Chains A and B, each alone.
Chain A
């Protein structure tokens, strides 16, 4: 049987920062297999994303199924489309769905992780919402003590942003008028339910798996690289393996926040971690307490109080939770068996996930399953979907980009609409991250397609393209930009 000889990638513009990639696997220019990787946008409008879904339906032919739908991780900017354009997707059957093992409801580690994370999020959001209101009220009523108002204003603003970030993690859209309160986890459930193939083994993927010769996609190997299983999710080795949960939490910076989490009612239930860390005998008696708080709450002391400081930990936690979820990204390399060319899709994997691809267990599993180790895959990479929209930690250097594009011309697609970068991600000025962008431009000779710019306008990129790329390549790159998407074809 003939093998796939080219893959066309369409990176849709969902109207905001988000991933929505349609892969058309072709034999002799005839599409024989289709894959959709994510469909979402951060707070995007229904209209834009529905237009993308409609185009996808039209491309594969009305009534036809998508052969493979991959949802990389549970973040709004990767799945919102399945809610917002639900009507369109209702009319498209999904033959098969892949997600990371972390989404498997029967996997014991995944189950534990989900449960604790959910609990933490809920409690954190509840506490912070309450305290945010309090600060707002204090701000209105407080007398004009020098320094205090400035401090309260700071907390009010910063916690508002943290709350937004936590709501994002919790899957709630920030835009109130959206798709009837459907959450990100609703979308995940919905996509799982749509899969015609129901086998859990085939749906939830673990690193080291190599899936080859799927019907219609002959000659193609899908290498699953992450998220790491049986190990710390951030990819950092930890010696305390006897307690997986512990190490899993540890490097997501949850464990050192255990004391804080106990205070907001989201800690573990071990008695040693009870709410107050102090023995009863050290408690103040009533008159002592009254006296202390009289002083503490006096007007003279207002500017020196520490009512809010303890909650500042929540900002770090929000970042940790975000990193954690990004690290649950299903990272994948698609290889043409014949030429060995590789297309890399790391979703939003952060450095920890990248590092884990090179772990001995993953390398040996990949080889055992008839695939190649990550090192070789990276070396043969000709197409790279830039991780995490071009953030500073979405592309690893040593275990990632450094190994790419050294022997072959590399083309990168970056799902980024710069002026839609949410403020809690650090805003537009941090995207794409300067150092990464510079390196990426060098590595690709300027062959980067961005959602908002198309072929990137950066003068350094332009110069390199003109200097190092063939006229045909330049022409092809210029033609990649379409109103609704960027399109690039990799010849096998």
Chain B
């Protein structure tokens, strides 16, 4: 887990062993993860239900006793530990991803309780399309605070006027209109849950046919207990698969500026890597669910499994040179920490491998030097890699106001966020043996929006600690990429890039280095412009301090 205080992202805080948990931190309808303190703060409050039969009025409600809330907040902490830049308002999806992912983990935890699944499936007669507790989050909390139903619901919602539960149907407009992180996050939750329901239905269709003499139409009355048990097994298995897919996909996410489209690509790529033959159509179910909500990745020519998978041309001269140079290093790294169980030792050793600084003060060749030492990432011959990663390795970095590396006194400053190892066994017994490297680069960007003509003027500057935080339209602009290297074949398998510069404008003939237009404008809109009121939450001292929205603004 990388741990650095906010606003000092480049000064490592060192290894922090434990997440700190304050179960009774605040007297409020609230619970939150504090990224600055690596701590969870849970609140408690007196219930104010809308009806006396929903909850005992005035009784104390402790958020630290809610399985859902604990899972949600802990997921925030873990996600922040892996991706510390996922709290920056670079895109409306970023904060929404944090919220949505935290809810997804909390939701699928429900399926680890077999009795609960059986109980609910018996009630809904085997279907997940009716109101059920498995799809709801923080039921007690919601009712105690004055809702008629749970705080959040993946498959339905409370009608604002009548308080009645209604199923939620896929709506392609919400992605264009809902920018508040919880609302937008709930879209992602609905998408994933929809994929889950589809897979579950697919997996249980034969069971239902067997139980109904081939008709698939259930008789009236209670379901056969054996059938409920089998359906529950399938639901639990499906939930575990779906959750694993969602978690596995994190390794395939960019280190900065994630959007829902990126996440779909990560889901599909990760699954295709591990499960060659998608005989149960899991990937199709996911692609389909995203499509139903109008979520498409950028920069793909058509929507198919093949185009969604991130790919690299390993036959190119530059990539194969890179593979040769870096493969050896990564194997040494793997041998060094592959059998290490102590988290702190892994952290320290990984740091040494990145920086080349050993604990005893001696100096070895670190990943940074390896990268710049290879014949591809040197001053002259790097255009292919710059395009691939979206980061600047050549001396052109000065044009972008990217700082010179402090450690090496020459060349562009490049943050190596992490090296991680990935070992998995697939369903066919195939062994996955990968190293994942995440890189990031930054510069200051100032955007001036000419509202009358809807034009954006984008300029770079060298961040100085104040300008980027205070001046209107200014922010730290980050590019980043995730490199996935297959240690079995010594090949660079996937590159997931969020380019810092406009790779389209640049070519061998024209050496143009300007910030990535699309991303810079989106970050401006999210942190200063029209989205900022809803997405700029991240600028506050406790970005996660609202698991509920107090409805003070009724606009009659």
Q: How many angstroms from the CA of A306 to the CA of B145 in the assembled complex?
A: 24
Contact of A397 among B57, B542, B555 (CB under 8 A): B555
Contact of A255 with B556 in the complex, beta carbons under 8 Å: no
Contact of A393 among B8, B13, B38, B555 (CB under 8 A): B555
Contact of A304 among B20, B44, B57 (CB under 8 A): B20
Contact of B41 with A260 in the complex, beta carbons under 8 Å: no
Contact of B60 with A277 in the complex, beta carbons under 8 Å: yes
A17, CB-defined interface residue at 8 Å: no
Q: How many angstroms from the CA of A15 to the CA of B5 in the assembled complex?
A: 45
Q: Which of A428-445 contact B (CB under 8 A)?
A: none
How many chain B residues sit at the interface, stated as a range, is 35 or more
Find the residue from A270, A309, A398, A400 having the highest chain B CB count within 10 A: A309
Mask, A149-166, CB within 8 Å of B = 1, is 011001000000000000
* Minimal beta-carbon separation of B545 from chain A (angstroms): 7
Contact of B36 among A151, A234, A397 (CB under 8 A): A151
Q: How many angstroms from the CA of A397 to the CA of B26 in the assembled complex?
A: 36
Query: Chain A contacts of B542 at CB under 8 A?
Result: 309, 312
Contact of A146 with B45 in the complex, beta carbons under 8 Å: no
Query: Chain A contacts of B13 at CB under 8 A?
Result: 146
Chain A residue at minimal CB-CB distance from B5: A147
Query: Chain B contacts of A263 at CB under 8 A?
Result: 27
Contact of A256 with B145 in the complex, beta carbons under 8 Å: yes
Q: How many angstroms from the CA of A303 to the CA of B553 in the assembled complex?
A: 35
* Minimal beta-carbon separation of B15 from chain A (angstroms): 13
A32, CB-defined interface residue at 8 Å: no
Q: How many angstroms from the CA of A435 to the CA of B8 in the assembled complex?
A: 37
B50, CB-defined interface residue at 8 Å: yes
Contact of A397 with B556 in the complex, beta carbons under 8 Å: yes
Contact of B26 with A351 in the complex, beta carbons under 8 Å: no
B462, CB-defined interface residue at 8 Å: no
Q: Which of A194-250 contact B (CB under 8 A)?
A: 234-236, 238-240, 246, 250
Q: How many angstroms from the CA of A259 to the CA of B48 in the assembled complex?
A: 11
Contact of A256 with B29 in the complex, beta carbons under 8 Å: yes
Mask, B24-39, CB within 8 Å of A = 1, is 1111110000001111
Query: Chain A contacts of B455 at CB under 8 A?
Result: none
A292, CB-defined interface residue at 8 Å: no
Chain A residue at minimal CB-CB distance from B36: A147
Contact of A259 with B545 in the complex, beta carbons under 8 Å: no
Q: How many angstroms from the CA of A312 to the CA of B31 in the assembled complex?
A: 12
Given A146-B13, A309-B25, A310-B26: A259 and B44 within 8 A (CB)? yes
Query: Chain B contacts of A398 at CB under 8 A?
Result: 555-556
Given A146-B11, A316-B550, A320-B552: A259 and B27 within 8 A (CB)? yes
Chain B residue at minimal CB-CB distance from A311: B26
- Across the A-B interface, give the 7 residue pairs with the lowest CB-CB distance, nearest first: A396-B556, A399-B556, A147-B5, A259-B27, A355-B556, A260-B27, A255-B48
Sample of 15 more A-B contacts, CB < 8 Å, known A151-B541, A235-B554, A255-B48: A146-B8, A147-B5, A240-B52, A250-B48, A253-B550, A257-B45, A258-B58, A260-B28, A277-B44, A309-B41, A312-B26, A313-B28, A393-B555, A396-B555, A398-B555
Q: List 22 A-B contacts (CB under 8 A).
A: A150-B36, A151-B36, A234-B554, A238-B50, A239-B50, A250-B146, A256-B29, A258-B46, A273-B58, A277-B44, A304-B38, A305-B37, A309-B26, A310-B27, A312-B542, A313-B28, A316-B28, A320-B552, A352-B556, A354-B556, A392-B553, A393-B555
